[in-house]
C-alpha cells in the first residue's frame, strides 16, 4: 500500500500580476497546498 505524506505539498507561484497570484494562492490553499509567492525573478531568488 502506498504511503501518504502528512506534509503539505508546496507550490511556488511566480507571476507579475498580483490578482493572478492571489487567485491561485487562495485556490491552492483551499486544496491543502502550502503556497509561496514571488512577483518576479528577483523575488523568486529571495524565496528560494
Q: Output the pLDDT for position 16.
A: 96
pLDDT at residue 26 in the model: 98
Q: What is the pLDDT of residue 11?
A: 96
* Per-residue pLDDT tens digits for 4-48: 667 779 999 999 999 999 999 999 999 999 999 999 999 988 888
pTM (global) more than 0.95 = no
d(CA 26, CA 30) in angstroms, rounded, equals 6
**Can you give the three-state secondary structure of 1-48, one letter per residue?**
CCCCCCCCCEEEEECCCHHHHHHHHHHHHHCCCEEEEECCHHHHHHHC
Amino acid at each position: 500500500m502506498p504511503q501518504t505524506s502528512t506534509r503539505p505539498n508546496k507550490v511556488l507561484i511566480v507571476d507579475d500580476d498580483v490578482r493572478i497570484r492571489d487567485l491561485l494562492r487562495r485556490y491552492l490553499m483551499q486544496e491543502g497546498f502550502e503556497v509561496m509567492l514571488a512577483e518576479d525573478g528577483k523575488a523568486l531568488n529571495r524565496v528560494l
